[in-house]
Every structure is written in C-alpha cells, then in structure tokens.
Structure 1
Amino acid sequence: MTRAGTAPTAGRSTTPTPIAPGNGPRPVPAPIDGVTIDDVSTISDVVAGAEAFGHFPTTRVVLDYGGTSNTEYADAIRQLAPHSYVMAELLDSSDMPQAQDDPSAEHNRIAAYLSDLGRYVDIWEVGNEVNGDWTCAANPCDSAGYKAGADMTVAAYQQVVAAGYPAALTLYYNPGCPSDPGEPDPITYTNTFLTSPTATQMRSGLRYVLLSYYETQCDNQRPSAGALAGYLQQLHSLYPNAQVGFGEVGLPNEIGKCGPGCYDARRYPSATAQAESIIKYYCGLDPGLSYYAGGCFWWYYAEDALPYRGNAIWQAINAAFA
C-alpha cells in the first residue's frame, strides 16, 4: 500500500533541525524522504530544491573516489545541512574493485572523511550494493571477491562507529533476476559472507539496512507491497536493530539520456513517465512495518529533478513524500 492509502505516519520532520559545526549527527525521524546527489558543483540548486520540499528531506551525498576534495564536500554539506539531513555514501559500488586493491588507502580515505565531514553528516553509508556482481576485482565476482568486499564493508563500519556515528548498509535487491547466476540476493549474501564475529557485530549495530532496486534491470518487475514487506521482515531478522527501507531507486541512466532501451517502452510513453511511476510507488511505499525507514533516494536527482521549478520529476518526488 502507498501512503496515500494509509493514515499519516507519525514522526515525519516538517521543520528544519538547525546544525552548527561541532554538533555532530542529528537523529533522523522516519519515514526518511531521501534523494541522491553524486555531484556537489551545483549545490545551490540542491539547497533550493531541499528548501522547497513539503517535508524536511535527507540528501545522500556520494563521495567520489577521487576528483572532489574534502574541502569542497565540507563547504557543500555546510550549505546543505540547515535544509536537509545528510547521508554520506563512503564508496559507490562501482568503485569497490579499485578500493579493494589498496585497503590501507581506503582506510585512510575514510578516516579523512570522518575527520573533515563528521560534524555535518547524520548517517554514514558504509557499503553500497555490496552483493552486486560488479563489485569485485574479478568480474563477475567469485566467492573470494564477495568475501573481500564484505571484509572492506565491515572495516568501514568499524571506523564509523568508532568515531561515534550511525551507519547504514545498502544491498542490491535482485528478486529472481541476478546480474549473474552466482550473484547472491541480500539475504543469501548476509548468511554467506557476513558471518564472522566482526560482521555479526556490524549486523547488530547498523542503524539502517536499505535496498537498492532498479526495476528496469529486473525484467521490469514491480514487487507488491506484501512481497516487499515479507522480504523486509526476513532482512530485519538478520539485522534486528536496524530500520529497513530503500536506499536507491531510479532508471539506469539520467532521463535526458534514457532511450527506449533504458526504460520500458512497451508500458510507458517516455522515460519521464516510467520515472514518475517508480517514484510514486517506491518513494511513497508503506509496507506496514514498525521498523520501516522509508528512504527512496532517487539516484539521478541532480540531473533529473533540478533546478526544481517546473520540474516534473521534482514534483513527483515531493508528492510521493507528502
């Protein structure tokens, strides 16, 4: 069921929570109303869009593997934080193979982010789509590669919680449509590669466990609210202290570059039409679970929804969060 068909959810944040340097992470009420940006060069547009939302959003900032300085990120997040909660994605799944080549360098990279950005960030995403078959040095992943990625995720978690910050993990939801026959679903991945004592500690300590789902990459399947509730219940049994939800949804490319092979042209007249449908369903979903965090986090938010004035995608996101 969607929020439109249910009673209002308690706890939604409708007014900003002020932040000042040194205050550290703020508690983020559920449901989370999330969007994703992978570029801070147009932060003024991001801030304007955040201010205009009907509810106080959470902006997920992807920390690039090279290219953008910590000073640039800190400046952007300082501007954004009065108008949005901030979730920092430490390492995108596409960069995991490179990071695995030098664990010591990745440790130092994370330490620098925690030092430079920690007082402005509310949630730290310690792993992104870590069960995806493209995340290993060997492509597709083998068992050793998945284990290396799991160990790297646990190490990132340990750094984040040692600094006193809340952590999130995003898993790639692939119900019956793995990218490779050996690609595990989130539950199989957890039961296979997150079983060591340190991984078990992470499973108990994570604040959020989220799913990334791109239905266009899964035969355009749209799981029912009941099916999703059942899966999220299973996931929660493995991460008993975490809130669960969606950490990423979208199309495989930004709408302006999304041709018929990028969206379901059989069902939708345009990429925009399918994007609006995805947003309405997943960003407005309420599976009826007390530990459901919401989320959404449309991936190409900056490219598809900004500047926000007169933008159909921004309007769809705002409506889904209502």
Structure 2
Amino acid sequence: MASRARTSRLLPAACLCCLLAACALPGSAAHVPSAVPSATSPTNPSARPVLRPLPDVLNGVTLDDVSALPQLVASLEALPQRPTERIVFDQGEPPSAYTAAVAALQPISYLMAEPVDSSQVAGASLADYHARTAALLAAFGTRIDLWEVGNEINGEWLGSAADVTAKVADSYRQVAAAGGRTAITLYYNPNCSEDTAHQMLPWTRENVPQDLKNGLDYVLVSYYEDNCHHYRPPLSEWNQVFTELAQLFPHARVGFGENGTSERTAPLDQKAEQLTHYYTLPVTAPRYMGGHFWWYYAEDMLPYPPANALWTALSRALTPLS
C-alpha cells in the first residue's frame, strides 16, 4: 500500500545474478513486447499440469525478504501446521534470484507468488506486467501453487481502473492458460479511502472483468487497522464482506490476503495482539479459507532459533484446538 515501505532482499549469492541478468520490470534492458499477446487456453486440456492439492484453510505468511533462508526454513518448518508463503518477487530482480528460495521452501510449505506488488503497478506498463508474469511462469511453473495476479488492485496508488484491470486480466489469462491457480488481493478501506471511487466492493463490482469473476480461484482482502484510523471491523462486518465477495466470485475461495501493522517499528505487543485477533477470527462466510499472510514475517519472526514472542503468537494461533 502507499504508506507502507515495500522492500525485498534476496540471498546474498543472488546479488551477482541481479547485476548480470536482465530484469522484467522498468529500468531493465530486457526486451518487452510492444503489443501484449492474448493468452489462449491449451489446445489439449489433458495436457494441463497436475497441481498438488491445497487444504481448505491456508495459513499464510509473506516473505518480502529471503536473505536468511536457513532461518526461514527452520522457523516455518517448526510451525504446528504447514504454512503457505507469499513470495514477493522484487522489482528488478530476475527469476533466477529466487531459485534457491523456491527450491528450499516448496518441500515444506505451499507457495503463492506475487509477481508485481501494488507499490510497483503504476510504474509498470502493460508489457512490463505481461513479461514479468511470463518470466516467472516459465521459471517456476507448477512449483508455485497459487499465483497472485493482482495485489491490492483497488488501491488509489495503482493508477486508473482501466490500466490496472488490463494488467491484472492479462496476468490472470496467462496463468489460467498455463493451468495454474489464480488469486487477486483487494484493499479494504471502509470510510478511509482517499477517493470514494476506490472503495473496495463498489470498485470490484464495476471494474473486475467477468471472466475473472467467474474464473478466479481465490479472492483475498488486505486490511491494516493503522491505515484506516485504527478501526477494527466487528466479526459481523467481516462475515458480510466475505459473503458479498463469495457472491461476486462464485467459484473462488475467500479470505485475508494481508494482515499486519503498516509500520515495522510498531510495538511488539500490538503486533502480537493483531496477529492473534485476525488469525483466529471465526469467520463463517461461504468458502472462507483464512489466509492472512502476515506481511513482515522475515523482519518480525527472525532470527530463529530461538523463537521470539511474535513467532510464538503465530504458532499458538495455528495450533489446532484439541
């Protein structure tokens, strides 16, 4: 989101790759097409890749920093339920910079790829966005369980609705044509949007193309209390929000796509309380799948071992009730 600093760090060994390889977003010398080809479905449906099944509930965290990979693996593997990691593929980095991270994380968790973060969308052309999705699909394919084809797509800072939906729809159609699972994340802004035209549900009804409404596998919601006047929606409001999304997207599972505090320096007790609240919300809307994807996992939960207070809060929130 606009007020949160988005940073991503890679494995130290990947830095040389960053200097030598072309990147797929602005500032790169890589060639991008002047016209974006449309995605088409495979001519032989039986040739679609076989994806490993996902559980009904996803216990998500976000990795915007994979530099401490051994500690990440150890901390994630120690959680009481198999987690799902959103990997933020940093602007300007080639897919090869993430090869080691995907290889290490995929056996112990489920993976969701974020090819383009919301903070990067306005600066990426349609051709850039297309090329980034295509490059990551070619590099990782079915090793990624879920592709987030658009992040916080109704946010005021992404650009015009027409530009944003063109980019997101193109990415969706590429992934769908390749047989991958697709997700979008919306930005919930009740009475706190800078422009009422970007309020989440009206914007979504008006702007998301119908083939995405019918075809998306997951529709997620990003929400940060400290970016919305510290407002905490009651459970009844969340049930209403997710029920409406389930109606708008009749084949999609719904849940949270980002939780956390917008400032990394927020007090630890505030972070632990918010994490526990959202990860344990008893939402009863149709096809609700949890999610959450705490944004600053690497910054907040490491070093590991030993477990710090926030990792312990996450572990407790994910511990099944006996």
Provide TM-score, normalisation by structure 2. 0.81
TM superposition shift of 1:321: 1.4
Deviations 1:150-186 (A, max 9, x none): 11111110011011000010000111111x1334222
Deviations 1:28-67 (A, max 9, x none): 112110000112222211111111000000011011111x
* Structure 1 alignment gaps of length 5 or more: 1-22, 137-144, 259-270
8 A contact 1:171–1:209 mirrored in 2: yes
Instruction: Select the residue among 69, 76, 82 that pairs with 1:56.
Output: 82
Report the equivalent of 1:88.
Answer: 113
2:258 and 2:168 mapped to 1: Cα distance?
18
Report the equivalent of 1:122.
Answer: 145
> Residue type matched to 2:182 in 1?
A
- State whether structure 2 residue 269 is matched by structure 1 residue 273: yes
8 A contact 2:253–2:289 mirrored in 1: yes
Instruction: Select the residue among 288, 310, 314 that pairs with 1:313.
Output: 310
Report the equivalent of 1:32.
Answer: 58
1:24 and 1:183 mapped to 2: Cα distance?
40
SS in 2 for 1:48: helix
1:45 and 1:305 mapped to 2: Cα distance?
10
Report the equivalent of 1:111.
Answer: 134
8 A contact 2:187–2:200 mirrored in 1: yes
TM superposition shift of 1:72: 2.2
2:104 and 2:205 mapped to 1: Cα distance?
40
2:52 and 2:228 mapped to 1: Cα distance?
35
8 A contact 1:131–1:183 mirrored in 2: no
Report the equivalent of 2:164.
Answer: 149
Instruction: Select the residue among 191, 212, 217 that pairs with 1:207.
Output: 217
TM superposition shift of 1:290: 4.0
Q: How many aligned positions are there?
A: 271
SS in 1 for 2:231: coil
- State whether structure 2 residue 180 is matched by structure 1 residue 184: no
8 A contact 1:132–1:183 mirrored in 2: no
Report the equivalent of 2:183.
Answer: 168
Deviations 1:261-285 (A, max 9, x none): xxxxxxxxxx111111111111111
SS in 2 for 1:297: strand
SS in 1 for 2:66: coil
> Residue type matched to 1:83 in 2?
I
8 A contact 2:59–2:83 mirrored in 1: yes
8 A contact 1:283–1:294 mirrored in 2: yes
Report the equivalent of 2:97.
Answer: 72
SS in 2 for 1:169: strand
1:64 and 1:89 mapped to 2: Cα distance?
9
> Residue type matched to 1:274 in 2?
Q
TM superposition shift of 1:318: 1.3
Matched-pair identity in %: 40
* Structure 2 alignment gaps of length 5 or more: 1-48
SS in 2 for 1:241: coil
SS in 2 for 1:82: coil
> Residue type matched to 1:300 in 2?
Y
8 A contact 1:89–1:126 mirrored in 2: yes
1:218 and 1:116 mapped to 2: Cα distance?
38
Deviations 1:236-272 (A, max 9, x none): 1111111100000111122xx34xxxxxxxxxxxx11
SS in 2 for 1:27: coil
1:277 and 1:41 mapped to 2: Cα distance?
27
8 A contact 1:25–1:123 mirrored in 2: no
Provide TM-score, normalisation by structure 1. 0.81
TM superposition shift of 1:235: 1.2
TM superposition shift of 1:286: 2.0
1:78 and 1:85 mapped to 2: Cα distance?
12
